[in-house]
């Protein structure tokens, strides 16, 4: 370092008196130059090399002692044929304002050639006269790689067709693009920065934060992950969910606003994660996680609907084959309900109209008799009257009961406790098993007559019934109605 300092002092043309302050300045300058990531050299006004740092030595192979003190670059760092042009462009920066950028080939010590991009800037003395020029240079391909990386980052954060969120080590968004802002339903990209993910998401926060923490600790996962989340907001739609009955016949209008809002807030994001570390430290220092995601909600819902439809078709086929082996038509009706429960409901209740209708007009006050329940009553779900039509005792349904509404409307009716806590006695008041929170009543029709009502029930662990469920229930009711009609004919 002392030899290096002496060389710099000897080659300096700033008129320093060589005192202690000047020596310290030279030592500091030498340390700064050698610590730079870019190759750097400097020339005085006569074109003599005055500075040459370690990165320049690494790139070209010429040591500082071999480079400093040479006049120009001809014959050692530049081909003689190109020297005049190259030196003229470099030294011309002393008379030109600002920074000049050039590209040309330099020679390495072993005879190779390196295409470099040079940024040169003139240096003036206290009197304003040019005293030399400083040049920083790097290999062109490295510079191009850097520019491509910067351009890619800017494109991802501006125009990408998927979400990009840079999450810091505290798991808070630090940078986000426009797609991400739209996905989170926030007014602008900056409005989601620095906020905990729990303020943006209602469900799925634990899973997402767990994935981010895993990436910070272990690195990027081998493949993308599909994460279901529910966005915060639209609470009014949640509160307005109808906790009573809503008609769900296929010809009805659009679903309630609360149901649409609930579906809109649920999203499936196909996510990829990359751990970010600073390239400036000797050991990786985590900067956060780059989270890239696409909204695949519609595709996933279509896949789930298709899988559900295949399963239900299979169940209907199996139920039809099993019911065909039953001698008792009412047993066949119960078999249809047994197969329908799988993946659909927790309980099914079959109420038959007694006496049956004699014409197309509905009975003003129907007498519905509990004919069957499936599965059989267990502890905590017992019934006050055992199922069976022999007694003819009607179920004590109150006015406005969903089963009576389904009969009167000749369609399907849904009942749900809604988003609030289950009111005490809600299921018992409707003569349903304890723990029931959602019901779907569908009328039984055969040969132009109404024969009864079948009710499907779900406990608190399941979601409410929707329109697709109503269509499926009506298909089951058609099979059940045929068996019930046959049973009633056999009893006459």
Out of 92-101, 212-221, 262-271, 353-362, which region has the weakest mean confidence (pLDDT)? Answer: 353-362
Helix axes 467-491, 329-341, angle to 10 degrees: 170
Q: What is the SS3 assignment for 215?
A: helix
Cis ω for the linkage preceding 170 (within 30 of 0): no
pLDDT digits (tens, 9 = 90+) for 385-436: 666 666 668 888 888 899 999 999 999 999 998 766 778 888 888 889 888 8
Higher pLDDT, 203 or 159: 203
Say whether pLDDT at 21 is over 60.
no
Q: Percent of the chain at pLDDT above 90?
A: 38
pLDDT of residue 215: 93
Per the rule left: phi > 0, alpha: psi between -120 and 50, beta: everything else, 408 is alpha
pLDDT of residue 250: 39
Whole-angstrom distance, CA of residue 170 vs CA of residue 152: 25
pLDDT of residue 154: 84
Say whether pLDDT at 244 is over 70.
no
Tokens of residue 18, six digits = 């060589």
pTM for this model (two decimals): 0.63
Out of 295-309, 376-390, 467-481, which region has the weakest mean confidence (pLDDT)? Answer: 376-390
Q: What is the SS3 assignment for 332?
A: helix
Strands 266-277 and 286-295, sheet pairing: antiparallel
Dihedral through CA 50, CA 51, CA 56, CA 58, nearest 10? 110
Higher pLDDT, 324 or 365: 324
CA distance from start to end of the chain: 115
- Residue 369's Cβ-side half-sphere holds a number of Cα atoms within 13 Å equal to 15
pLDDT of residue 24: 66
DSSP string, 467-492: HHHHHHHHHHHHHHHHHHHHHHHHH-
Whole-angstrom distance, CA of residue 55 vs CA of residue 158: 35
């Amino acid at each position: 370092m002392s030899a290096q300092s002496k060389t710099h002092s000897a080659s300096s043309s700033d008129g320093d008196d060589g005192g202690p302050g000047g020596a310290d300045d030279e030592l500091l300058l030498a340390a700064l130059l050698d610590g730079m990531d870019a190759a750097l050299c400097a020339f005085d006004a006569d074109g003599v090399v005055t500075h040459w740092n370690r990165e320049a030595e690494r790139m070209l192979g010429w040591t500082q002692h071999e480079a400093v003190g040479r006049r120009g670059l001809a014959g050692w760092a530049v081909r003689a044929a190109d020297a005049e042009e190259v030196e003229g462009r470099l030294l011309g920066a002393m008379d030109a304002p600002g920074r000049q950028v050039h590209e040309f080939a330099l020679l390495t010590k072993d005879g190779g050639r390196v295409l470099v991009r040079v940024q040169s800037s003139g240096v003036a003395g206290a009197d304003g006269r040019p005293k030399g020029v400083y040049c920083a240079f790097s290999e062109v391909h490295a510079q191009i790689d850097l520019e491509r990386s910067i351009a890619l980052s800017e494109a991802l954060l501006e125009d990408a067709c998927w979400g990009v969120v840079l999450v810091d080590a505290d798991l808070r968004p630090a940078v986000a693009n426009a797609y991400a802002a739209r996905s989170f339903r926030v007014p602008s990209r900056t409005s989601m920065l620095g906020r905990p993910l729990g303020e943006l998401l209602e469900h799925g926060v634990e899973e997402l934060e767990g994935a981010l923490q895993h990436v910070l600790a272990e690195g990027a996962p081998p493949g993308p992950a599909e994460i279901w989340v529910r966005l915060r907001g639209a609470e009014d739609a949640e509160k307005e969910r109808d906790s009573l009955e809503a008609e769900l016949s296929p010809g009805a209008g659009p679903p309630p606003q609360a149901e649409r809002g609930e579906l809109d807030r649920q999203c499936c994001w196909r996510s990829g994660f990359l751990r970010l570390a600073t390239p400036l430290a000797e050991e990786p220092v985590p900067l956060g996680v780059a989270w890239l995601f696409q909204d695949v909600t519609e595709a996933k819902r279509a896949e789930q609907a298709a899988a559900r439809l295949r399963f239900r078709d299979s169940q209907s086929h199996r139920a039809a084959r099993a019911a065909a082996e039953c001698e008792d038509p009412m047993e066949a009706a119960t078999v249809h309900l047994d197969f329908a429960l799988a993946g659909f409901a927790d309980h099914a209740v079959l109420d038959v109209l007694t006496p049956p209708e004699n014409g197309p007009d509905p009975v003003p006050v129907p007498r519905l008799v509990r004919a069957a329940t499936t599965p059989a009553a267990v502890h905590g779900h017992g019934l006050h009257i055992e199922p069976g039509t022999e007694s003819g005792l009607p179920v004590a349904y109150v006015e406005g009961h969903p089963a009576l509404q389904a009969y009167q409307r000749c369609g399907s009716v849904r009942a749900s406790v809604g988003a609030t806590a289950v009111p005490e006695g809600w299921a018992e008041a409707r003569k349903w098993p304890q723990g029931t929170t959602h019901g779907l009543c569908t009328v039984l029709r055969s040969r132009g007559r109404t024969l009864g009502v079948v009710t499907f029930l779900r406990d608190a662990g399941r979601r409410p019934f929707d329109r697709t469920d109503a269509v499926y229930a009506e298909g089951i009711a058609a099979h059940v109605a045929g068996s019930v009609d046959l049973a009633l004919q056999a009893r006459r």
